Chains A and B, each alone.
Chain A
């Protein structure tokens, strides 16, 4: 058995493919090496919900047999063959505990695989474990990082800082080299936030592109599943496997995705919309230099930079109302049974209870305003191809800090694109998170959002950005 080093643990999917073809490693080596690492280091960051190493090794043996004949052709049958990964614990795996990060569901077992798990299994990818998450994917809101049955997600760059959530384990595991890629979910910010705080690349796909069958529902018209990876290119490779039509998901768009960087539009043909205030006024003082330098790199790609701002809508109240009502409906049995009080976060418990009391007309008003907002946002894309803004305006907060306190400095007048996370989720837009530097030794990241099904454009810009920067290749200190 090959002893794996940090060059393997932080390798991209393409690099691991090359090692597998050259027989420098086998799929079993990868399953054992990454599995041991995930089990050893995962708990250090509260990143692991359920180890599945033995299951992965069994799968790896059959994958190795499949890979053998392909080696003569100098490539694998599929790029994810033999590549280990982790999945957020809101995805069901037949016969295994799926706790949704929440104590009341600690013994929950489904007898079927989520569609994405099945697709990755068929592609020869090796599931190493279920990854930690904020309980119930954050529900209608939570106050502390400790809102999880596995404890607060600790940031690999500084364990006294939060990893971000709700896909905390997915971001941590990729950042610390515990898995080559991971699957997470976003309803409003649960992919982009932990990706930015942990310094990894991640993609929130267009609503409906990836089936959510077998995933915990939080909000039916907002939930999306997406990959956390080492690079934009790896996100494209994983998305191609997990995307596709699924009749079992009523929200499925019925579309596939093919990662085609060879057909990417020239950067000089693209228009990138941005708001200067997002880079000069809104960010934390310490984060401004990183964001401003990243903006200059983007400018240097050759695209036309266009100043823009989001249309004026109450994005926060809109998405808050929709998630509160949907979550209260999903978890009504939990609330009425009283078991909701077993959750870790008092604000989340209260939010779920209060969600049951929101009148129907308020919910419908939110959904009607949402349609107007979506139309206005789509109109914005007649002037630009993508929107660019910091993913979060500050690096990761301290792990015991209340998450619902606002910075005690005056808010800039120009809102720019600062509401892009709720606005992009309400409109179903895809978004890419890209690490873009550091503030006080903690990673910060950008987000790029585009029109629905423009993932190839986002990934092309991300790939070009990452060919000129190395932020996505940085490793947390003390993690070998």
Chain B
């Protein structure tokens, strides 16, 4: 029985196209993996940073003292 040589069926143009496609596939970023779960500590830190960011935007006149109570 005559064995069919599959290589003989690939033209140079087809091979070049396949190579380009492979290269393009290699350049495509892999599908995004789910982000690792944020730890509770990281979440708490992020919340504190968000609060700090919000407070930083609040205008405060220079003469405003903190709301502490101190008596000498």
Most buried by A among B45, B58, B60, B65: B58
Are the C-beta atoms of A320 and B69 separated by less than 8 Å?
A: no
Q: How far does the Cβ of A197 sit from chain B's closest Cβ, in whole Å?
A: 25
- Assuming the A-B contacts A314-B54, A314-B58, are A371 and B64 also in contact, with contact meaning beta carbons closer than 8 angstroms in the complex? yes
On whether A317 and B51 interact (CB within 8 A), knowing A350-B39, A350-B40, the answer reads: yes
Q: How far is the CB of B51 from chain A (nearest CB, A)?
A: 4
Q: Does A313 contact B (CB under 8 A)?
A: yes
Stretch at the interface among A48-56, A263-271, A291-299, A361-369: A361-369
| Docked-complex contact B48 and A365, CB < 8 angstroms | no
The 8 Å CB contact of B55, one of A346, A347, A350, A365, is A365
Choose one: A317, A354, A357, A370; the contact of B54 (CB below 8 Å).
A317
Compute how far the CA of A249 lies from the CA of B12 in the bound complex, rounded to whole angstroms.
90
Question: Which residue of A has the minimal Cβ distance to B40?
Answer: A350
Q: Are B67 and A317 in contact (CB under 8 A)?
A: no
Q: A359 CA to B56 CA in the complex, in Å? A: 12
- With A221-B69, A346-B40 in contact, is A366–B55 under 8 Å at CB? yes
Q: Are B52 and A374 in contact (CB under 8 A)?
A: no
Binary contact track A306-324/B, C-beta < 8 Å → 1, others 0 = 0000000110111011001
A350 to B67, CA, bound (A): 27
Quote the shortest CB–CB distance from B39 to chain A (angstroms): 7
Interface residues of A in 357-406 (CB under 8 A from B): 357-359, 362, 364-372, 374
A43 interface contact, C-beta 8 A: no
Q: Is B20 an interface residue (CB 8 A)?
A: no
Q: How far is the CA of A313 from the CA of B55 in the complex (A)?
A: 9
Q: Is B51 within 8 A of A350, CB to CB?
A: no
Given A221-B69, A362-B52, A371-B67, decide whether A313 and B58 contact each other with a Cβ distance below 8 A: yes
Given contacts A221-B67, A367-B68, A371-B64, contact A321 B55 (CB under 8 A): yes
**Which of B44, B55, B67, B68 touches A314 (beta carbons < 8 Å)?**
B55
Interface SS of B by simple majority: helix
How distant is B30 from chain A, measured CB to nearest CB, in Å? Answer: 32
Flag whether A353 is at the interface (Cβ < 8 A).
yes
Any B CB within 8 A of the CB of A351: yes
Known: A353-B41, A368-B66. A321 touches B58 (CB 8 A): no
Give B55 Cβ to nearest chain A Cβ, in Å.
Answer: 5
Chain A interface size band reads 20 to 34
Contacts of A320 in B (CB 8 A): 47-48, 51
* B44 close to A365 (CB less than 8 A): no
Contact A371:B66 (CB < 8 A) given known A353-B41, A365-B60: yes
A349 contacts chain B at the CB level, 8 A cutoff: yes
Query: In the docked arrangement, what's the CA distance between A316 and B39, Å?
Result: 22
Task: Give the residues from 15 to 72 in chain B that come closer than 8 angstroms, CB to CB, to chain A.
Answer: 39-41, 43-45, 47-48, 50-52, 54-56, 58, 60, 64-69
Residue among A140, A221, A355, A366 with the highest chain B CB neighbour number at 10 A: A366
B62 nearest in chain A by CB position: A368
What B residues does A368 contact at CB under 8 A? 60, 64-67
A343 to B40, CA, bound (A): 14
Residues of B within 8 A of A324 (CB): 48
Q: How far is the CA of A354 from the CA of B41 in the complex (A)?
A: 7
Contact at B58–A369, with CB atoms within 8 Å? Answer: yes
Q: For B39, what are the chain A residues with a Cβ–Cβ distance below 8 Å?
A: 350
> Once the chains bind, are A318 and B60 in contact (CB under 8 Å)?
no
Whole-angstrom distance between the alpha carbons of A167 and B65 in the complex? 32
- Judged by a CB distance under 8 angstroms, whether A164 is at the interface is no
Contact A354-B55, Cβ < 8 Å, known A367-B66, A368-B67, A369-B60: no
Does A251 have its Cβ within 8 Å of any Cβ on chain B?
yes
- Cβ A369 vs Cβ B40 within 8 A: no
Nearest first, the 4 A-B pairs at minimum CB distance are A367-B66, A317-B51, A350-B40, A354-B44
Question: Could you list some 5 contacts between A and B, CB below 8 A?
Answer: A317-B51, A347-B40, A353-B41, A362-B55, A365-B55
Q: Can you add 14 more A-B contacts, CB < 8 Å, to A358-B52, A368-B65?
A: A314-B54, A314-B55, A318-B55, A350-B39, A350-B44, A353-B44, A354-B41, A357-B48, A365-B56, A365-B60, A367-B66, A371-B64, A372-B60, A372-B64
